[in-house]
Amino acid sequence: MTALLEAPEEPVEAPKAPEDRERFRATTVAWLSPAAILLIGLFLIPTGYAVYLGFTNLQLLGPNAQHFSFTGAANLNRLIHDPVFWSSVKITLIFVIGSGIIAQTLIGLALALLGQRAHISVRATVGSIVILAWVLPEIGVAFIWYAFGQSGGLLSEIIGNPSNDLLSTAPLLIVSIANAWRGTAFSMLILSAGLRNVPEEVDEAAQLEGAGYWRRLFRVTLPIMRPTIMTNMLLITIGTISDFTLIYAMTQGGPGNQTAILPVYMYIEAFQFNALGYGTTIALALIVIGALLSIVYVRQLRPELRKAS
């Protein structure tokens, strides 16, 4: 079988019981096929189909719903000249970087660092509260912060201007706060684990040389944690960039598309403005942007990856 040609890792992985692993066994197909059928049918084929649909004039209703056709670069052309698309890209980047990468990493890191030195009961209680925000269904989070952002809601009370309808005056800020509130637990968990893996001896050596806490944090701890922090940022980016529920339930992308990140803009174009083909083009653009951002991280992580292998 072709099996003999590939998988260079195999001999390394299986030094003993070779007769068991060297042959490809027919039953392996039986183990793999249920997952393969679901992934091919509901993941790979739709992905391939998306690449095609993105270049068609498919519509939700009307004549082009049944008889759509390939329109070449028409959608791409429309995308490039669509000011709403470019503002959506900008909003997506602000949302991902502001509420995802910056807010969640900084607050998560603060919680992890404080937790490391705080009393066990305080750490456990605060940790559970932060995790509770993460476990709540996203729609519940959307509702809570929707209420908070209303005029007369808690946020406008706190800033001392109860009549201010923050969801109209600062919608992107409110959905960003909601997202940061919900997502911080993930960073806290990852970064706490990373912090525990920093060897104590290194920190103690720096202490003996008289380095203060902040100096040790910035010169020793954080550089050691760099791969963890970068991986965490990558995971936050992937999670945040495709977020839909939170923003859509709070603002439906509005007012005036001010919170329409790309998945929301895709939904609006496809299912409200009838343009399924163009909506797919937007989704493809989202993938390209996600891939570009991921490449940035992987490049940053390359020295560490090389060291590890």
Partner 1 sequence: MSTGEISVPLSVVEDRTQEVVPNQLRRARVNKLVINTVLAVLGIIFLLPIIWLIDSALNPNATQGLSAPAWSLANFRAAIAAGAGGAIKNSLYLAVVSTVVATGVSTLAAYALSRRRVPFKATVLLGILFLTGLPVTLLLIPLYEIFVHLGWANSPFYTSLVLSATSIPFAIWLLKNFIDQVPKEFEEAAAIEGSSEMRILWKIVIPLSLPGIMVAAILTFINSWGAFLIPLVLDANPGNQPGAVGIYQFMSANGIVQYGPLAAYGILFSVPVVVLYLICSRWLNGGFAFAGGVKG
Read off the tokens for 294. 């991921």
Q: Which of 97, 126, 222, 301 binds partner 1 (CB under 8 A)?
A: 126
What size, in residues, is the chain? Answer: 309
Chain residues 69-98 in contact with partner 1, contact rule CB under 8 A: none
The only residue of 84, 138, 224, 258 in contact with partner 1, by rule CB under 8 A: 138
Helices and strands, counts by H and E, the chain: 19, 0
Q: What is the 3-state secondary structure (H, E, C) of 222-256?
A: HHHHHHHHHHHHHHHHHHHHCCCHHHHHHHCCCCC
Residue 287 beta carbon to partner 1: minimum distance, rounded to whole angstroms:
6
Minimal distance, residue 72 CB to partner 1, in Å: 19
User: Is 24 one of the binding residues for partner 1 (CB under 8 A)?
Assistant: yes
Contact stretch for partner 1 (CB under 8 A) within 15-23, 94-102, 217-225, 297-305: 15-23
Which residue in the set 70, 73, 86, 125 belongs to the binding site for partner 1 (CB under 8 A)?
Answer: 125
Nearer to partner 1, 43 or 218 (CB): 43
Q: Does 171 contact partner 1 by CB under 8 A?
A: no
Please choose, out of 78-86, 94-102, 217-225, 268-276, the segment that lies near partner 1 by the rule CB under 8 A: 268-276
Cβ 218 to partner 1, closest distance in Å?
17
Exactly one of 96, 109, 130, 175 binds partner 1 (CB under 8 A); that residue is 130
Cα 265 to Cα 27, 49, 75, 88: the distances in Å are 46, 20, 15, 7
Class of residue 121 by CB neighbours under 10 A (exposed 0-12, middle 13-18, buried 19+)? exposed
| Contact positions with partner 1 (CB under 8 A) in 271-290 | 271, 276, 279-280, 283-284, 286-287, 290
How many chain residues interact with partner 1 (CB under 8 A)? 113
Q: Decide: is 3 part of the binding site for partner 1 (CB under 8 A).
A: yes
Q: Among residues 129, 159, 202, 305, which is the contact residue for partner 1, using CB under 8 A?
A: 129
Please count the other Cβ atoms lying within 10 Å of the Cβ belonging to residue 60.
15
Minimal distance, residue 29 CB to partner 1, in Å: 9
16 DSSP 8-state letter: S
For the bound state, the minimum distance from the C-beta of residue 263 to partner 1, rounded and expressed in Å, comes to 4
Check if the beta carbon of residue 174 is closer than 8 Å to that of residue 166: yes
Residue 298 in contact with partner 1, rule: CB under 8 A:
no
Q: Residue 102 and residue 272: Cα distance in Å, rounded?
A: 33
Taking Cα atoms as reference points, which of 87, 46, 82 lies closest to residue 275? 82
User: Rule CB under 8 A: is residue 292 a binding residue for partner 1?
Assistant: no
215 lines the binding site for partner 1 (CB under 8 A)? no
Quick check: 26 binds partner 1 (CB under 8 A)?
Answer: no
Question: How many alpha carbons lie under 13 Å from residue 299 in its C-beta half-sphere?
Answer: 6
Task: Indicate whether 43 belongs to the interface with partner 1 (CB under 8 A).
Answer: yes
Q: Which of 111, 145, 113 is nearest to 131 (CA)?
A: 111
Among 77, 90, 106, 157, binds partner 1 (CB under 8 A): 157
Dihedral sign for Cα atoms in the order 66, 71, 76, 80: negative
Half-sphere CA count of 235, side-chain side, radius 13 A:
17
